[in-house]
Structure 1
Amino acid sequence: MSPEPTRNAPNGRAVEVHTPTPITLAPVVPVQLDNVPTVASVVLPDGRVVTGYAVEPAKTEPVAAKPAVSRAAVNVALGGIGFLAVCGGLLLLTTFITALTALITQLITLTAVIFGGWIAVQVFSASGRREGTTVNIRKAVFKRSHFHR
């Protein structure tokens, strides 16, 4: 808009007049729509005519089928299987430790028996030898708490 020169109004005041600038529009190109529905007209029994677009019924989204078993139940079952596997392993571990303890106990007992037998043989076989000094205690006389030979 461009202002025009000031004019005097009848009451003596100055008035500024504006003249609008025309807007040039871009050329309009008609658009051809391929999927515009056709208009249908229906004649009612009383003679009135109703015109409008045919509306297709709304399609519902298919509902995702829920699994027969919930995820929580599956997780609990898998946790139970894992727990049983761990318990089985612990049972095998305790069984192994028990068997190892029994083996060590038997080895210690066997060693004691063999070593004790060897000591017994050494003690009892020494009395059969004729080496060393033999003292005949029967001829000794005990007087006044002194030992005489």
Structure 2
Amino acid sequence: MTNPTNPGPSHLQPSVRQQIIDGLRALADLLEADPALPVGRHGYEFLSFPPPGMHDAAAIAVVDQVAERLGVTVDDDRPWGGHYEACKSLAAGWVTYRFVHIPARAAAEHQARNSYRDNITVTDDQADCDQADRDQADRDGRRVA
């Protein structure tokens, strides 16, 4: 699956990869050992990306490889300015492994929109209104994230 010019999805050094796996197991053990510890009401997502600097075509190939290994179909939202990703839900959907490629165009568009960020100021009144809207959406069951 990998070659010297395309490091593939396992581009981290084996020791770092193993530390991540060990950390996930330790987290599961911790949560199982102490039922009083809160967990998120929307579940958890493990998010991973192709190596930095990889061109779109190579990154798409890596996502295709990951999708094959996961036994899932690729979700391709590129025609609408979105991402190219492979996603596997576990534990009745409460835990998700998501491997995402953000195309260069989508990243550039995001950076362009974000360049205005420092020019926008939200007043306290607007922030209070936004929070009230989020609270009402929670009560109505409309808010998912």
- The TM tier, using the shorter chain, reads under 0.3
Larger relative helix fraction: 2
Q: Compute the TM-score of the two structures, normalised by the length of structure 2.
A: 0.14
Q: Which has the higher contact order (CA 8 A, sep 6+)?
A: 2
Q: Compute the TM-score of the two structures, normalised by the length of structure 1.
A: 0.14
Larger Rg: 1
